[in-house]
Amino acid sequence: MSRYGAMYGPDLTFLGVPACDLADPASFADADVVVVGAPFDGGTSHRPGTRFGPSAIRQACYLPHDGSRPSLALRVDALRDLRVYDAGDVEMFSGDIERSLSALESAVHTVASSGAIPVVLGGDHSIALPDATGVARHHGLGRVSLVHFDAHADTGDVEFGSLHGHGQPMRRLIESGAVRGDRFLQIGLRGYWPGPSVLSWMAEQRMRSYEMTELVARGLDECLTEAFGIAVDECEGVFLSVDVDVVDPGMAPGTGTPEPGGLTSRQLLDAVRRCCYELPVVGVDVVEVAPPYDHADITAYLGNRVVLEALSAIARRRRDAAGGLPWNPKQPLLDAR
């Protein structure tokens, strides 16, 4: 199938990076990263609207859409230091969840098989199942760990009579063998779901979940360091899945299932930077941006910056691996690097 473009709104690429067509391998043969839109909210259990997330994330910036974004913190320009392309949206009809998730898995696997890192813009969190599965099919089932930022565990079993939905992808990933339960790291959980039976299942899988109370008591950095040590043990790479509702709804109101008491936007951006600088990240998705509830585009801007932090950290990691001076966050801004 040729490039679909955008399901909703104009066919704009992420901040002006070049377009590519997944049906034409030559159009992204040299890619380091390929952005894929997943405009799907057929798995939502509460408020829909995330189908408009990919378009909002692509556009949410006050700077020119010129394919350039120099990072003050990391001293790289990820959109130029990396070869970043945008494949447009996968056709995902919200009335047919199985067909839509299958199409997305095929697209993500195509990107991963080319040697590029897929960065998927959601969409509700049901897309994590095809995203991580598509990557694991290339790198090896059970050989990719998953770092998951979210207010919710997303480990439900059957919801509304369906095995698929945004509250269930993590269970499906573990049951399928795509990701090992003991290499599943969840950060930011809080609130009043899931119940005891689901928590018991999670414990049986040896999942590691850092609830907000633990993050506050121990500190986010300490918990991340511990999680990173688990993530790289016996795994070839790490998939990073970021649900924007991990952030307190006062800073990220545009989401379908807001849960008070989360991370700050600053904490999330710093954590994503650490993940992508310190870990061998092989895939990323950013999900649950729901523009209909987003006051002043606050959440769309956050989603955009999550993507930029991830790409900038990947670019800096590659530069340092090639022999550059390691990044030092304590070095003054105007010192040359």
Report the 10 Å Cβ neighbour count for 26.
Answer: 8
Cis link prior to 18 (omega < 30° from 0)?
A: no
Is residue 3 classed exposed, middle or buried when 0-12, 13-18 and 19+ CB atoms within 10 A define those classes?
middle
Of 149, 121, 117, 153, nearest in space to 40 by CA:
121
Hey, which residues does 70 pair with through a beta bridge?
Answer: 77
Of 138, 210, 133, 139, nearest in space to 174 by CA:
133
Cis link prior to 165 (omega < 30° from 0)?
A: no
Average pLDDT over residues 225-244: 97
Alpha helices for the chain (secondary structure H): 53-59, 78-81, 97-113, 128-139, 169-176, 196-204, 212-218, 220-231, 265-278, 298-321
Of 92, 87, 80, nearest in space to 108 by CA:
87
% the chain with pLDDT above 90:
88
% the chain with pLDDT above 70:
99
Contact residues for 18 (Cβ-Cβ < 8 A; gap 6+): 67, 84, 85, 86
pTM (two decimals): 0.96
Is 70 exceeded by the pLDDT of residue 336? no
Alpha helices for 114-168 (secondary structure H): 128-139
User: Which value, in Å, is the radius of gyration of the alpha carbons in the chain?
Assistant: 18
Q: What one-letter code names the amino acid at 126? A: S
Average pLDDT over residues 82-91: 97
Query: For residue 246, what are its two tokens?
Result: 């991990």
CA atoms within 13 A on the CB side of 241: 34
CA dihedral 288, 293, 298, 301 (to 10 degrees): 40
Is 60 exceeded by the pLDDT of residue 195? yes
Of 213, 154, 209, 155, nearest in space to 187 by CA:
209
71-83 pLDDT per residue, tens: 999 999 999 999 9
- State the pLDDT confidence band at 159, using cuts at 50, 70 and 90: confident
Q: In what order do the strands lie in the sheet with 84-89?
A: 84-89, 33-38, 117-122, 281-287, 237-243, 144-149, 184-189, 208-211
Average pLDDT over residues 199-228: 98
Alpha-carbon gap, residue 27 to 30, rounded angstroms: 8
Average pLDDT over residues 20-49: 96
Is 80 exceeded by the pLDDT of residue 255? yes
Is residue 62 classed exposed, middle or buried when 0-12, 13-18 and 19+ CB atoms within 10 A define those classes?
exposed
Average pLDDT over residues 14-35: 97
Average pLDDT over residues 211-226: 98
pLDDT attached to residue 153: 97
Name the average pLDDT for the chain: 95
Is 60 exceeded by the pLDDT of residue 337? no
Average pLDDT over residues 99-123: 97
CA 117 to chain centre: 12
pLDDT attached to residue 129: 98
